[in-house]
Structure 1
């Protein structure tokens, strides 16, 4: 079995089925047809006698740069936010399917993996990264917020890591991703073919097969700042306190981090902060539902329209943020804004 539908290539060889993203002109940014095709494949394969399913890229140097946010913005400009809601609903359904799929799913992350790319990888049990992998949730820079279940998986990272990554959009190296738990195995890009072949031919648990091919990555740069990250972003219940702690720290890292946060959409920072604190005690389904409700409101907001313009359309990277429309304050605020009013 092999077919190419809407930017995704599907193949099945014996006990292995492959989902390969192939939208090179958009760095594999996923759109509604791609997500719908992936959902159909997962539904069809659920009861098949498969050993493993891989999610990977057919484009060199990129796994998935995220969702097609430019299309989402255009939907809002054209007065059709329902089209965006359909996209998010379908995408989040695929995220949830991957988290509970009865067949082991292995993501082979060989290149850039951001936003929606994490949604297609991090919910599965096996996330293999190569030396070319770069992981991030950079949504606050475009007036959006970390979604695809990030209020669930980021909020469960140790210490202050989740808030740090969600608010700043910091990029993770392969070693960083392993260190924080977003990746499970490191394999050199040159060995990926051998990994695919082993998954198809070798018996035994998937983890054991992968471990026979792992290498040691370069040391984690993020690990050097873990104590400071925890001191600034850990055990905090107020976003303003994060800014105060960074100013008080005064180190070069703190100054860089402060400058990063000050360049982000204030509305996005406030919403992200509240969603991550709220999500710590919620199920994945509850988090995805809250994110969908938030997305409905955010995609028509001035900050989202301006942020996507500045970063992805005109690319001048000089957004002019509006006064925040988000009125939430802490965990109760996010419930009032995105859940009770959805």
Structure 2
């Protein structure tokens, strides 16, 4: 622009006005760009989970395929209010949850973020577990039929958003495990409720060893309610969405039809069938020391293999997990989640969880240095401290 002294007086207001418009436009452009960036950041976060109404159903799609659909705090905070809305909505008659990418339904909670927050004393480690467990409880008490398509890896937090629903559909690519004792945690998200209710001592075995169940075995173990060939999963979903005003019975009929037609591994015995008697006797002790002694005395190749796995786990985690399952076997789900919230917060304040996350997920050296490193050094008093009430900070459901 010209220096103002060189401009005729009569033209000055117009030029000042033009400068003002340009300045305003420049400001507005910047504002729009910043707003767009903020929105795209929000949109990216929102796209971690898709919440859509399709036909008669509310459909939850976990959408972090590159990260195996691991559950973030943001996802939990979006799913819960939408679930409650759909539960109240007379037009929504069914809720479906699934994962994208084909590899995983949900490989667990984002424990790395939780560990980083916990070490920095941030509130996330309190809020994440609190909100996650509230969501688990909401799924269990949901008055609308809830169908989880647990195709691919289903572990930890992924188990929490599926196993408490009415219907869980596994495929030949489903991999179920609760491997938390390997990262200094415990099988949470209501594991203390559903694991001890599996046949015999199967749940205790799965919780303490982190053993993986695959494909039809997830159904045979009683974790999935139905089994469907993965190539039929899309058609199954379409048939569920096409139902006009489905009742729980209509949905069960559709699932049963698909289940009955599935031939994959139909005649294969349950992978642990030949070991169930051993599992029931060896894992029926009330202390970890006794379970280890049972396995040592048994000496079979199966027992030796389980010992090898258990010896890699956090001694503290093993002891709190065994007690969690024993106590959980006679508690309601709400009581179990309250207990597990106490355990989660004690783990955040301890050593092993952060060390387990470092060894398994960050440095990936798979060599955690547990403290204490030996079961004998984990005293009853240590274990009791994990179960102590948090007073006004206890989980309220």
TM-score bin (small chain):
over 0.9
Is 1:126 the counterpart of 2:167? The answer is yes
SS at match of 1:298: helix
**Shift >3 Å, 4+ stretches:** 324-329, 333-337, 339-342
Is 1:54 the counterpart of 2:104? The answer is no
Which runs of no fewer than 5 residues in structure 1 stay unpaired? Answer: none
TM-score under structure 1 length normalisation? 0.93
Tell me the number of residue pairs that the alignment of Structure 1 and Structure 2 aligns.
335
TM-score under structure 2 length normalisation? 0.81
What displacement does 1:334 show?
5.8
Is 1:69 the counterpart of 2:103? The answer is no
Distance 1:328 1:55, change over 3 A: farther
Matches within 5 A, 1:275-290: 275-290=324-339
- Structure 1 residue aligned with 2:256, among 211, 236, 250? 211
Contact 2:52–2:58 (Cα < 8 Å) also in 1: yes
What displacement does 1:180 show?
1.8
Task: Identify the residue that residue 226 of structure 1 maps to in structure 2.
Answer: 276
Is 1:116 the counterpart of 2:161? The answer is no
What displacement does 1:68 show?
0.4
Contact 1:138–1:168 (Cα < 8 Å) also in 2: yes
Contact 2:178–2:206 (Cα < 8 Å) also in 1: yes
Moved more, 195-204 or 183-192: 195-204
Is 1:11 the counterpart of 2:72? The answer is no
What displacement does 1:158 show?
2.1
Task: Identify the residue that residue 42 of structure 1 maps to in structure 2.
Answer: 83
What displacement does 1:336 show?
5.5
Root-mean-square deviation (CA, aligned residues, Å) is 1.8
Partners of 2:212 and 2:363 in 1: CA distance:
23
Higher relative contact order (CA 8 A, sep 6+): 1
Matches within 5 A, 1:238-317: 238-317=287-366
Task: Identify the residue that residue 79 of structure 1 maps to in structure 2.
Answer: 121
What displacement does 1:162 show?
1.3
Which runs of no fewer than 5 residues in structure 2 stay unpaired? Answer: 1-42, 392-397
Structure with the greater alpha carbon radius of gyration: 2
Q: Residue by residue, what CA displacement relative to the aligned partner does 1:232-254 show, whole Å, maximum 9, x if unpaired?
A: 113x2122111011011111111
SS at match of 2:345: helix
Partners of 1:335 and 1:266 in 2: CA distance:
15
What displacement does 1:335 show?
6.0
Matches within 5 A, 1:317-328: 317-323=366-372, 327-328=379-380
Partners of 1:285 and 1:209 in 2: CA distance:
31
Distance 1:335 1:265, change over 3 A: closer
